[in-house]
């Protein structure tokens, strides 16, 4: 389990690799040079049959402003890497659907919200990962997080980190976001308890606070 | 006349109460269905009192939940998030065949790298699609999935029926030994009603079709079993009942229940399906027992849909005859439940409405080779609401009577005032008076039409005496309240703290609520809206006892007796001479190093029971595309003492959102021939999202009663109000959910044809 191939030369690569594509020769060609010989062998076979890549790769990720070394199988999602391979485990992002339809796993990649269950950890190399744990300095809350508390934006709370990450990115772009824009920003997130009305209230309230503070 | 298999309609207690006792309607699980029954309890009208509401500082105010900061920062630890040294991850293999004898070859899985243990589940025979048949533990979830894929399964396939149509057909394969069609109750003599129906001037007859809905909790069912050998284990469970776990887990681990601790710090959605450990919990225990390592087993989303319960679907065949005066002269109903291998849940019809001239002909279930239904928020009621509110509206339009007036005439005597008050308030909030077409749909050529509809709910929501609560006051003045109860997102943790802080004159921050651990005092499982009315009175009692005990200690310091003292914010003083006072910290310093501990039990007089609730919806229907947009929903709800206005409003609105989702989007789809569940994921099984949410208003009535649970009532009428609003908008009467665009367009086409 120690197929240690350095991915550091891939820092500037575009995140083009889905989990499904990764198992296909075509996808693997795009990842050339990243995960080493097993991949190259698979690519040479030019087969569309699933290929099982054994062993792990060592990655260095930039998570919440700190460097984090992990050893994961190439197929490991960023979500499972955060939750299962980081020290300490970053379990704020939740695994719910594992296929990009609920948004509970949302994190920021270079400031943009992404589904971390649809992002491979190897695709996060060289990019800034921000999770719910790193949104505010320890012991503090962002305006949006405070507003979620004040306006009861969570019930069970399982979807909450995902909503906070999605709407944070929206308010970062535009603190004057309208209700419609806020709804769009979290239209990729699901909540089963039905907290949506309070989430919208919280987001609008946070936008007002940010604007009052002279946020952009 | 109406048959009633679940004793919901016993309106009077069975006999007069014994001396010193009184009768209470309490909600209990009977055959797994939350049912109201009469219980004789001590007539305890002394003891603690909630007191005047206007004088409350924290209880019944808008209090942000105490665990909010943990939830918005990702610090809140759900069972799903528990990470332990040496922990392994497990996944289950499901049967891909609905009915079969199965033989497993586990060896290929065992040989894979990282796979540590594989266990077989069940006894080689599968009766429902997706039943877990094996579980694999590995060092990562990815490797566990490899292990699941590597297991070789030989299916000796048997005939199956995954749809009620197939199951009810002649010569259908037998789902179980009890027969595919099982009659739960039957009333053979319908001659009187039939005669009355024949004579009624206006008749409405139809079949209402209700799909199977899924709970779709975002945190799936599952556990983390921390067993490392020896004679102790801790089970972290996503459950609605902390105390439903230790017994089951102990059995599987070969331990005694008192050697197992259940922990439910936070749980990600509980709508009725999460009681006990389930097959997945048993699997995790078996793996942990074998490995002597902590095992993390949370179902993946597909397994969650296949094997973790659902709200039963069904069919309601109804016939109603109405007089020109708007009175229902005769009513007849037959209910069929679709609960898979389970019985499903139902409610006798005509639901809330007067049943003087009604006969409930039959209540039956059709079994299929699908996962058993489980209780789901208001079991039986949302289904009953959908057909009955449809019948009520159809009758009202047919006799040309105002929708509310028609309901007034046909509500039972004792409930008329309550429901009419609530309905009229809803009408006012949603703008019914100014609505242009009340007694007929919009017949204009407008492309987009707007309509309004109404519906009502009923629930028990009473408590019971299962909770034991402890309040501790430490020498430094800090306070804890402890209960084993679980917080499903309803705000349980928060009201535990507010009730104690209120009673002791403290700020909320001074009280820490510790819950979700089976080593704390026992508590009921959260079903049937029974948590708050059971727990809150027990917390109040414990806080009251703690205050009285503290007064006993402090009284000598103030030269008074305990009964002369009162708490004020941050201090204790002599009520008659307020200058005699002692600060809270100084009072507690007198307690000595052990501090003080007080216990509390249920106080029947602090709880209430039996609620209504009305809702209205305003929708627009695009007659070109069939798209329905819910523009506005309003709710008016009675529920006794509201413990936290903010959390209660969230819960009521949340129920409305779930009802909207039920009405417009949700439906399990199975292939009858291939025996496949076609939409076991969140792309194809749609639940309401941000873009679907209307403007909402939730109003709580001033209700002098004690605490009553309201969660179920919140989800019961919304989809029915939406169905009625769709009809009011465009004239299409949908007797089938989900109310999708294709059905609207078909309905519009039928109207055009005449």
The answer as to CATH 3.30.540.10 being correct for domain B411-459+609-754 is no
Residue A25: per-residue pLDDT: 40
Q: Choose between A24 and B579: higher pLDDT.
A: B579
Q: Which tens digit of pLDDT belongs to each residue from B615-644?
A: 999 999 999 999 999 999 999 999 999 999
Each residue's pLDDT tens digit, A59-100 = 999 999 999 999 999 999 999 999 999 999 999 999 999 999
Average pLDDT score, chain B:
95
What part of A 58-77 touches B (C-beta under 8 Å)? 73, 75-76
Instruction: Write phi, then psi, for B360 (nearest 5 degrees).
Output: -95, 95
- B89 forms bridges with which residues in the sheet? B138, B296
pLDDT at B155 over 90: yes
Res B33: pLDDT: 58
pLDDT at position B241: 98
Per-residue pLDDT tens digits for B276-307: 999 999 999 999 999 999 999 999 999 999 99
Q: Give residue A21's pLDDT.
A: 45
Q: Which residues of B309-326 are buried (b: 16+ CB within 10 A; e: fewer)?
A: bbbbbbbbbbbbbbeeeb
The candidate with the shortest Cα–Cα distance to B213, out of B670, B667, B689, B720, is B667
| Residue range B714-729, pLDDT digits in tens | 999 999 999 999 999 9
What is the token pair recorded at B66? 């105490």
Q: Do domains B53-76+463-606 and B411-459+609-754 have the same CATH topology?
A: yes
Say how many C-beta atoms besides its own lie within 10 A of residue B674's C-beta.
Answer: 9
The rounded radius of gyration (Å) of the Cα atoms in chain B is 28
ipTM: 0.94
pLDDT band at B23 (very low <50, low <70, confident <90, very high): confident
Please tell me whether residue B20 adopts helix, strand or coil conformation. coil
What is the pLDDT at residue B77?
Answer: 98
In tens, the pLDDT along B480-516 reads 999 999 999 999 999 999 999 999 999 999 999 999 9
In angstroms, the CA B510 to CA B524 distance is 26
Report how far residue A62's alpha carbon sits from residue B575's, in angstroms, rounded to the nearest whole number. Answer: 62
At residue A32, φ and ψ (nearest 5 deg) are -45, 140
- Residue A190 pairs with which residues in a beta bridge? B689
List pLDDT tens digits, range B523-546: 999 999 999 999 999 999 999 999
CA distances (Å), origin B222, targets A145, B413, B519: 28, 47, 20
pLDDT at B132: 98
Chain A residues within 8 A of B71 when measuring between CB atoms? 148, 154, 157, 160
pLDDT the model gives residue A14: 40
Q: Nearest residue of B to residue A71 by CA position? A: B140
- To the nearest whole Å, the CA of A79 is away from the closest chain B CA by 12
Kindly determine whether residue A94 and residue B218, on different chains, have CB atoms separated by under 8 Å: yes
Backbone angles phi, psi at B506, to 5 degrees: -110, 165
User: Does B218 contact A93 at a Cβ distance shorter than 8 Å?
Assistant: no
Spell B415-433 as b/e; 16+ CB within 10 A means b. Answer: beebbbebbebbbebbebe
Q: B683 and A91 in contact by Cβ < 8 A?
A: no
Q: How far apart are CA B484 and CA B261, in angstroms?
A: 11
The top-level CATH class assigned to B163-213+311-410 is: alpha beta
Judge whether residue A15 has pLDDT over 60.
Answer: no
Taking the model in full, what pTM does it have? 0.92
Class at the top of the CATH hierarchy for domain B79-158+219-307? alpha beta
pLDDT digits 0-9 by tens, B207-243: 999 999 999 999 999 999 999 999 999 999 999 999 9
Distance to chain A for B653, nearest Cα, Å = 7
CA distance A125 to chain B (A): 20
Q: Enter the tokens of residue B476.
A: 């430094």
Percent with pLDDT over 70 in chain B = 96
Three-state DSSP class for residue A199: helix
Which residues 39-58 of A are in CB contact (within 8 Å) with B? 52, 54
Nearest residue to A206 (alpha-carbon basis) of A155, A135, A129? A135
Distance of residue B484 Cα from the nearest chain A Cα, in angstroms: 17
Write the class of the CATH domain B53-76+463-606. alpha beta
Give the pLDDT score at B11: 72
Give B5's pLDDT tier (boundaries 50, 70, 90).
very low
- B497 CB-contact burial (10 Å; exposed 0-12 / middle 13-18 / buried 19+): buried
State whether residue A93 sits within 8 Å of chain B by CB. yes
Minimal C-alpha gap between A93 and chain B (Å): 7
- Residue B752 is inside which H or E element, if any? helix B741-753
**Whether A76 and B658 lie within 8 Å, measured CB to CB:** no
Chain A with chain B: Cβ pairs closer than 8 A: 186
Mean pLDDT for B57-71 is 98
Two tokens, residue A13? 């690569």
Kindly report, residue by residue over B743-754, the tens digit of the pLDDT: 999 999 999 997
Q: pLDDT for A167-205, tens place per residue?
A: 999 999 999 999 999 999 999 999 999 999 999 999 999
- pLDDT tier at B10 (50, 70, 90 boundaries)? low
Window 196-215 of A: residues touching B by CB (8 A cutoff) are 196-200
- Cβ within 8 Å, pair A149-B72: yes
Identify which of A132, A152, A196 has the shortest CB distance to residue B64. Answer: A152
Which residues neighbour A58 within 8 Å (Cβ) at sequence distance 6 or greater? A4, A5, A6, A69, A70, A71
Give CA–CA dist B85/B87, Å, rounded: 5
pLDDT beyond 60 at B466: yes
Query: What residue in A sits closest to B271 (Cα-Cα)?
Result: A193
Q: What is the C-alpha end-to-end distance of chain B, expressed in Å?
A: 38
Q: Are B294 and B230 spatial neighbours (Cβ–Cβ below 8 Å)?
A: no
pLDDT of B677 strictly over 50: yes
Query: B13 or B271: whose pLDDT is higher?
Result: B271
pLDDT bin (cut points 50, 70, 90) of residue A37 is: low
Q: What is the tally of helices (H) and strands (E) in chain A?
A: 8, 5
**Helix, strand or coil, per DSSP, at residue B552:** helix
Per the CB < 8 Å rule, is A94 touching B300?
no
DSSP-assigned letters across all residues of A137-155? -TT---HHHHHHHHTT--S
Work out the burial of residue B617: count CB atoms within 10 Å of its CB; fewer than 13 is exposed, 13-18 middle, 19 or more buried. Answer: buried
Task: With cut-offs at 50, 70 and 90, classify the pLDDT of residue B355.
Answer: confident
Cis-peptide into B738, omega within 30 deg: yes
Query: If you write DSSP's letter for every residue of B448-481 in order, what string do you get?
Result: EEEEEEEEE--B-----TT--EEEEE-TTS-EEE
CA distances from B533 to B324, B498, B514, B602, B670 (A): 43, 15, 19, 9, 39
Q: How do residues B386-425 score in pLDDT, each as one tens digit?
A: 999 999 999 999 999 999 999 999 999 999 999 999 999 9
- Check: CB of residue A205 under 8 Å from CB of residue A197: no
What is the pLDDT at residue B590? 93
pLDDT over 70 at A27, yes or no = no
Sign of CA dihedral B51, B54, B55, B57: positive
Choose the closest CB to B650 out of A1, A159, A198: A198
Rounded to an integer, the average pLDDT of B651-665 is 98
Helices B741-753 + B718-730 axis angle, to 10: 40
Say yes or no for a CB contact (<8 Å) between B83 and A99.
no
Q: Where are the domains of chain B?
A: 53-76+463-606, 79-158+219-307, 163-213+311-410, 411-459+609-754
Mean pLDDT for chain A overall: 85
Choose from B66, B69, B74 for mutation: most chain A CBs within 10 A. Answer: B74
- The partner residue sitting opposite A149, judged by closest CB among B69, B80, B218, is B69
Return the pLDDT at B178. 86
Which candidate, B319, B315, B406, places its Cα nearest to that of B359?
Answer: B319
Q: Is B127 helix (H, G, I), strand (E, B) or coil?
A: coil
- Work out the minimum CA distance from B663 to partner chain A, whole angstroms: 14
What are the tens digits of pLDDT across the range B101-127? 999 999 999 999 999 999 999 999 999
3-state secondary structure of A124: helix
% of chain B residues with pLDDT over 90 = 92
- How confident is the model over B352-359, as a mean pLDDT? 91
CA distance A157 to A192: 10
**Using alpha carbons only, what angle is made at residue B236 by residues B233 and B241, rounded to the nearest 5 degrees?**
110
Domains and CATH numbers, chain A: 8-134 (3.10.20.30), 143-212 (1.10.150.120)
Contact A150 B142 (CB under 8 A): no
| Nearest-Cα residue of chain B relative to residue A146 | B69
What is the DSSP-derived secondary structure letter of residue B567? E
């Amino acid at each position: 389990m120690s197929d240690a191939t350095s991915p550091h030369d891939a820092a500037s690569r575009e995140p083009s690799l889905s989990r499904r594509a990764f198992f296909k020769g075509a996808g693997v060609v795009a990842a050339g040079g990243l995960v080493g010989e097993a991949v190259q062998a698979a690519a040479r076979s030019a087969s569309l049959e699933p290929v099982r890549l054994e062993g792990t790769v060592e990655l260095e990720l930039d998570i919440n402003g700190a460097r984090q070394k992990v050893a994961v199988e190439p197929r490991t999602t960023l979500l499972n890497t955060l939750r299962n391979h980081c020290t300490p485990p970053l379990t704020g992002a939740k695994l719910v659907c594992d296929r990009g339809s609920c948004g509970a796993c949302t994190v920021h990649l270079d400031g943009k919200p992404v589904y971390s269950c649809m992002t491979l950890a190897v695709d996060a190399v060289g990019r800034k990962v921000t999770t719910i744990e790193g949104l505010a300095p320890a012991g503090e809350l962002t305006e949006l997080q405070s507003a979620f508390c004040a306006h009861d934006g969570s019930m069970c709370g399982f979807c909450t980190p995902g909503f906070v990450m999605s709407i944070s990115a929206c308010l970062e772009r535009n603190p004057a976001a309208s209700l419609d824009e806020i709804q769009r920003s979290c239209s990729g997130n699901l909540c089963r308890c039905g907290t949506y009305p309070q989430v919208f209230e919280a987001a609008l309230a946070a936008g007002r606070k940010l604007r009052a503070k002279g946020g952009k | 006349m109406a048959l009633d298999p679940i004793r919901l309609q016993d309106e009077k207690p069975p006999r007069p109460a014994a001396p010193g006792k009184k009768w209470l309607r309490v909600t209990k699980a009977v055959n797994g269905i939350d049912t109201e029954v009469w219980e004789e309890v001590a007539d305890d009208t002394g003891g603690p009192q909630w007191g005047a509401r206007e004088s409350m500082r924290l209880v019944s105010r808008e209090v942000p939940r105490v665990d909010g900061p943990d939830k918005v920062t990702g610090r809140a630890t759900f069972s799903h998030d528990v990470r332990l040294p040496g922990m392994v991850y497990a996944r289950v293999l499901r049967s891909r065949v609905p009915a079969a004898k199965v033989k497993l070859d586990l060896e290929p899985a065992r040989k894979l790298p990282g796979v540590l243990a594989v266990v077989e589940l069940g006894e080689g025979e599968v009766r429902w699609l997706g039943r877990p048949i094996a579980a694999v533990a590995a060092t990562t979830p990815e490797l566990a999935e490899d292990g699941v894929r590597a297991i070789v399964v030989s299916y000796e396939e048997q005939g199956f029926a995954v749809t009620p149509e197939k199951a009810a057909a002649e010569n259908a394969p037998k789902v179980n030994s009890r027969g595919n069609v099982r009659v739960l109750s039957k009333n053979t003599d319908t001659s009187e009603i039939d005669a009355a129906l024949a004579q009624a001037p206006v008749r409405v007859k139809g079949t209402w079709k209700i799909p199977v809905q899924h709970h779709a909790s975002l945190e799936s069912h599952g556990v983390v079993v921390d067993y490392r050998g020896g004679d102790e284990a801790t089970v972290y469970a996503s459950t609605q009942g902390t105390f439903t776990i230790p017994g089951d887990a102990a059995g599987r681990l070969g331990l005694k229940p008192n050697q197992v601790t259940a922990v439910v710090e936070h749980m990600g959605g509980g709508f009725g399906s999460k009681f006990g450990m389930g097959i997945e919990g048993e699997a995790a225990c078996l793996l942990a027992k074998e490995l002597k390592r902590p095992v993390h087993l949370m179902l993946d989303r597909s397994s969650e849909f296949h094997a973790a319960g659902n709200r039963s679907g069904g069919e309601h065949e109804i016939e109603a005859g109405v007089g020109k005066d708007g009175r229902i002269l005769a009513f007849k109903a037959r209910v069929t439940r679709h609960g898979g291998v389970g019985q499903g849940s139902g409610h006798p019809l005509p639901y809330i409405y007067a049943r003087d001239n009604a006969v409930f002909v039959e209540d039956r279930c059709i079994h299929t080779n699908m996962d058993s239904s489980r209780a789901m928020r208001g079991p039986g009621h949302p289904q009953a609401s959908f057909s009955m509110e449809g019948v009520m509206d159809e009758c009202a339009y047919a006799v040309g009577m105002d929708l509310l007036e028609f309901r007034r005439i046909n509500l039972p005597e004792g409930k008329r005032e309550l429901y009419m008050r609530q309905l009229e308030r809803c009408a006012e909030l949603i703008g019914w008076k100014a609505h242009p077409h009340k007694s007929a749909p919009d017949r204009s050529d407008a492309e987009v039409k707007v309509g309004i509809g109404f519906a009502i709910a009923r629930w028990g929501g009473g408590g019971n005496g299962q909770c034991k609560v402890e309040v501790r006051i430490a020498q430094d003045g800090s306070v804890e309240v402890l209960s084993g109860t679980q917080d499903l997102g309803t705000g349980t943790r928060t009201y535990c703290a507010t009730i104690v802080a209120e009673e002791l004159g403290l700020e909320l921050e001074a009280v820490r609520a510790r819950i979700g651990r089976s080593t704390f005092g026992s508590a009921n499982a959260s079903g049937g809206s029974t948590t708050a009315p059971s727990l809150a009175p027990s917390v109040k009692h414990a806080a009251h006892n703690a205050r009285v005990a503290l007064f006993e200690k402090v009284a000598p310091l103030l030269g008074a007796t305990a009964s002369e003292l009162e708490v004020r914010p941050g201090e204790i003083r002599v009520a008659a001479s307020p200058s005699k006072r002692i600060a809270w910290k100084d009072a507690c310093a007198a307690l000595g190093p052990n501090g003080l501990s007080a216990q509390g039990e249920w106080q029947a007089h602090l709880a209430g029971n039996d609620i209504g609730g009305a809702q209205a919806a305003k929708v627009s229907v695009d007659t070109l595309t069939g798209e329905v947009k819910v523009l506005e929903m309003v709710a008016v709800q009675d529920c006794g003492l509201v413990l936290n206005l903010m959390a209660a409003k969230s819960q009521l609105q949340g129920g409305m959102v779930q009802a909207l989702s039920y009405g417009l989007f949700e439906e399990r789809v199975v292939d009858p021939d291939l025996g496949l569940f076609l939409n076991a994921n969140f792309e194809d099984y749609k639940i309401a999202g941000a873009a679907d949410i209307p403007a909402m208003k939730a109003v709580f009535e001033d209700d002098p009663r004690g605490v009553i649970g309201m969660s179920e009532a919140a989800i019961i009428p919304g989809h029915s109000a939406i169905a009625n609003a769709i009809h009011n908008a465009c004239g299409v009467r949908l007797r089938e959910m989900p109310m999708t665009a294709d059905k609207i367009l078909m309905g519009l086409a039928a109207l055009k044809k005449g």
